[in-house]
Structure 1
Amino acid sequence: MSPLFRDFSLSSVTSGLLSAFVGFSSSFAVIVQGLTAVGASPAQASSGLMMAAVAMGLAGIVLSLRHKMPLSVAWTTPGAAFLATLQAPEGGFAVTVGAFMLAAALCILAGLWRPLGRLAESIPMTLANAMLAGILLPLCLAPFRAMGLLPEIALPIFLAWAIMARINRLLAVPAAVVVAATLVASGLEPGAFAPEQLWSGPVFVMPQLTLAAVVGIALPMFVLTMASQNVAGIAVLKSFGYTPKAGPLISFTGLAALLSAPFGSPGVNMAAITAALCAGPEAHPDPDRRYWAAIVAGIGYIVMGLGAALAVALMAVAPPAVIAAVAGLALMGALTGSLTASIAQPEAREASVITVLITASGLSFFGIGAAFWGLIAGAALYAWDTRKLRRAATAEAAE
């Protein structure tokens, strides 16, 4: 028996399947909501969801086989949440796709050219988390707005999430998704879905690019992907004793994102939360055999991605408030983590709060969205405040 198949185990299969199920069901609504907000048609949103799942599945399989480590890959949930706060740019979804490709190209360059990687990593984590918190805050209010509009649907969804979170937090959002799908499906008339709605293949979009999309979409997505996903994903792997070279992994996932972007995929990157399911001891007591969990997870993502049209079709017939509620619940954990991290540094708290507020406000100048301006304003205050502190420390040392 070859070493590859000798390392295979039942525990890696169960951990990998759980990782794929949690990763897909917990955030596919965010992906579709984000793509729809920036101008994707139902067919394009289905294509984007499918290609993102296939890209992260294939990338995880290739990386895990090559390095013999559980290198899980995920789609950019923070990036999709950011997209959900925007409006379709002038020029439509083709301009958004161009921004996806530029953000992916920057990730490739960040992995290959260390100065750009260092520049991305030099953004204070407090500000990066504050920007993410500002993006997530309006989305996480949606479940409670939905309770006022559709209490008979939104309240059971919230209760399913809240109760399951106390039992097994990983399954909280999947439980909410199951309840939402059941309630929506129970209200459908027979024949609500046409056969052609249940399957659709990839849809190619000829990319375009504008300056406003570069600054307002591509650059924030690059920052979110690097700070909220890639850096966190590498940190999770290190916490389990794996020490892969970050640069090649970031470049490879960037390449997967670049190749899938013309089909509507918002991007893929190193996984963080689901990475722990594949890299932990539950996957296998022997760390050298856990890579099979990431391989199985990759296969699971591909299979579920091929059913993307069904997920999009169900979302299309659901009340928008219900979809927003499910997406908001899926982002609750990320909001909690980003808010906590944004105020962890006492001297940067005011800059972080300003970043959160401006980003959450939705303001726009010159066609550039609030996330960019929030980060710029926060960075200016952060530089000012930390410079004052350094001067005071220097003066005190001189005395």
Structure 2
Amino acid sequence: MLNKLSISHVSSGLAAILVGYTCSVVIVIKAAMGAGATPVQVGSWLFAIGIASGLTTIFFSLRYKVPVLTAWSTPGAALLASSVVGFSLSETIGACIFTALLIILTGVTKSLSTFIQKIPSALTTAMLAGILIPFGIKTFTPWQNTPVLFCSMLAAYLIGKRFYPRYTMLLLILVGGFVAYVQGSLPLGDSQFSITSPVFMSPTWSVASIVSLSIPLFLVTMVSQNIPGIVMIQSHNYSVPFPTILLGTGFMNLLTAPFGGFSCNLAAISAGICMGKEADPDPKKRYLASVSAGVFYILAGLFSTSLVALFVAMPSELTQMLAGFALLGIIQRSLHLAMDDEKAREGALITLLITASGITFIGINAPVWGLLAGYITNRFFNPTA
């Protein structure tokens, strides 16, 4: 295999990983810290998702000779970051384990996948948009306190989206980090380079955590990652058994969840980097690009402690803007899909607003109430649908 590996395979694999990490690592760290994880435990979260994504990417790509790229759910991380308040770290870990079981169950039975397909996509994308909108709003609040940093990052975002869309987040990290360093708010002198050791975190379960964390995380992962991921593969004229992918990623998620692996699923947007002509003119050899990506995933996981130290050292305004800018594209797409179906708009709007409100009632968080209220509204306006 090594004699078939080319520079384009390696560069495409590296680009895919850079896109994935730069778009979501801040959000994952926020989710872990929001759940009460210490910096060492946060490192374990990144270790777990890196190793899980790397191993499944390499295995499936070699098994089917198809560029299969797995990852973790960025919207899922955002969901946890906004929903873990009031839940302990052990409950969060338990919720992630239950989500993994739901993914596995979806892979072995048609009934659950059929149930998911019956939920109008307008409602699930509206729920996703409602989860992410608070992050989008917070992108612009640092304008008052750090105008130079904000304007620099906004300019970097606009230039990146206009000329280098694939590397926009990398440009944002470089520009934001440089400005923060010049302003003296980013101390880098104490940064250390070390290999991460996974940390076991005991799970506990509660009805509230399963309803408020597990089920929304499952729906978000399926709707925003796994389904678009298989569509991405098929759009490039490749074919892989979707149930087998769900089983493999679900079991890996189950194994790594006690160490912080909150999700393991198909990649969507970044996967396309390994499937295009830039990876290899020959479609039959492009799987080597995703194999390369898998190796970079594992390396990133092994040295995730250093990555955590870097992002923890960043000023809160910088990480807040990085997280917000990373999610703007997903927010835009979710809003478009949510409001695209005229018959489902009322229900989608109700779902969006209730989810974005952040309300909690009888221990159940806003995304669940939003989806339920939106579904009832949708059935009221479309009783025969």
Q: Which interval holds the TM-score relative to the shorter structure?
A: over 0.9
Task: Deviation per CA, 1:59-110: give whole Å up to 9, x if none.
Answer: 10011011110000011101001112124334x1011000001001110110
Q: Is it true that 1:292 corresponds to 2:275 in the alignment?
A: no
Aligned to 1:30: 27
Residues 213 and 190 of structure 1, relative CA distance in 2, 3 Å threshold: closer
Correspondent of 1:21 among 15, 18, 30? 18
Q: 1:99 aligns with which of 90, 95, 98?
A: 95
User: Are the equivalent residues in 1 in contact too, given 2:185–2:315 (CA < 8 A)?
Assistant: no
Q: Distance in 2 between matches of 1:347 and 1:9?
A: 50
What CA distance in whole angstroms lies between the structure 2 residues aligned with 1:179 and 1:139?
A: 20
Q: Which residue of 2 aligns with 1:12?
A: 9
Query: CA offset at residue 191 of structure 1?
Result: 7.4
Pair 1:325 & 2:321 matched = yes
Cα displacement (A) at 1:150: 1.5
1:31, distance to aligned residue in structure 2 (A): 0.9
Task: Tell me the TM-score normalized by structure 1.
Answer: 0.92
CA distance in 2 between counterparts of 1:215 and 1:87 reads: 12
For 1:38, the aligned partner's letter is A
Q: Secondary structure at the match of 2:364?
A: coil
Q: Return the letter of the residue paired with 1:76.
A: S
- 2:340 maps to 344
Distance 1:387 1:44, change over 3 A: same
Deviation at 1:184, TM superposition (A): 3.4
**Equivalent-residue separation in structure 1 for 2:53 and 2:323 (angstroms):** 20
- Post-superposition shift, 1:214? 0.3
Residue in 2 aligned with 1:394?
Answer: none
Runs (5+) with no aligned partner, structure 2: none
Q: Which residue of 2 aligns with 1:84?
A: 81
* Letter paired with 1:11: S
Aligned 1:180-191 pairs, distance under 5 A: 180-186=176-182, 187=184
| SS of aligned partner of 2:71 | strand
SS in 2 for 1:89: coil
CA deviation vs aligned residue, 1:115-142 (integer Å, no higher than 9, x gap): 1122223221111110000011000111
SS of the aligned residue for 2:252 comes to helix
> 2:135 corresponds to which residue?
139
Paired position in structure 1 for 2:162:
166
User: Which stretch has the larger CA shift, 313-322 or 52-61?
Assistant: 313-322
SS in 1 for 2:360: coil
Which residue, out of 358, 361, 366, partners 1:362?
Answer: 358
Residue equivalent to 2:367: 371
Contact 2:186/2:315, CA 8 A, preserved across alignment? no
Out of 292-301 and 318-327, give the one that drifted further.
Answer: 318-327
> Which residue identity does 2:262 align to in structure 1?
P
Q: 1:191 to 1:277 in 2, by over 3 A?
A: closer
Q: Conserved in 2, the CA contact under 8 Å of 1:39 and 1:89? A: no
What residue in structure 2 maps to residue 381 of structure 1? 377
Structure 1 residue 375: Cα displacement: 0.6
1:246-257 paired onto structure 2 within 5 Å: 246-257=242-253
- Residue type of the partner of 2:72? W
Q: 1:191 to 1:62 in 2, by over 3 A?
A: closer
Q: Report deviation, 1:10.
A: 2.8
d(CA) in 2 for partners of 1:382, 1:30:
32
Aligned to 2:190: 193
User: Any idea what the Cα deviations from partners look like across 1:301-349, whole Å, max 9, x if unmatched?
Assistant: 1112222222221222222222111000000111111010001100001
Q: CA deviation at 1:190?
A: 6.8
Residue number among 39, 44, 49 corresponding to 1:47 in the alignment: 44
TM-score, structure 2 normalization: 0.95
SS in 2 for 1:85: helix
Q: Which residue of 2 aligns with 1:61?
A: 58
* Residues 89, 213 of structure 1: 8 Å contact kept: no
Please give the alpha-carbon distance, in whole angstroms, between the structure 2 residues aligned to 1:311 and 1:10: 26
- Comparing 277-286 with 180-189, greater Cα deviation is found at 180-189
SS at match of 2:133: helix
Q: How far did residue 200 of structure 1 move?
A: 3.9
Q: Which runs of 4+ in 1 moved over 6 A?
A: none
Given the alignment of the two structures, is residue 223 of structure 1 paired with residue 215 of structure 2, yes or no?
no
Task: Give the drift of 1:15.
Answer: 1.2
* Aligned counterparts of 2:168 and 2:51: Cα–Cα separation in 1: 24
Q: Say whether 1:262 aligns with 2:238.
A: no
Question: 2 CA distance for matches of 1:110 and 1:120?
Answer: 9
Aligned amino acid, residue 324 of structure 2: G
Conserved in 2, the CA contact under 8 Å of 1:70 and 1:278?
Answer: yes
- Of 224-233 and 171-180, deviating more is 171-180
Distance (whole Å) between structure 2 residues aligned to residue 300 and residue 372 of structure 1: 36
2:20 maps to amino acid:
G
Q: One-letter code of the match for 1:58?
A: L
SS of the equivalent of 1:39 reads coil
Shift of 1:224: 0.5
Structure-2 residue corresponding to 1:130:
126
CA distance in 2, matches of 1:151, 1:201: 39
Q: d(CA) in 1 for partners of 2:65 and 2:309? A: 38
> Against the structure 1 CA distance between its residues 189 and 179, is the aligned structure 2 distance closer, same or farther, given a 3 Å change threshold?
closer
| Residue-pair matches, total | 384
